[in-house]
Amino acid sequence: MSAAVIAVATDPIWNPHAWDIVSLLGEDAPGLAHVSEPSRDYEWDVKVGRGTNGATTTFIGFQPAKFSVKWEIWTASQMRRGPRS
In a domain, 85, yes or no: no
In a domain, 41, yes or no: yes
What average pLDDT does the segment 48-76 reach? 86
Determine the residue type at 15: N
By residue range, what is the domain housing residue 7? 3-80
In a domain, 20, yes or no: yes
Res 30: pLDDT: 81
Determine the residue type at 16: P
How many domains, in total, are found in the chain? Answer: 1
pLDDT-derived band of residue 59, with 50, 70 and 90 as boundaries?
Answer: very high
The pTM of the full predicted model, rounded to 2 decimals, is 0.46
Res 84: pLDDT: 52
In a domain, 57, yes or no: yes
Q: Which residues of 49-69 are buried (b: 16+ CB within 10 A; e: fewer)?
A: eeeeeeeeeeeeeeeeeeeee
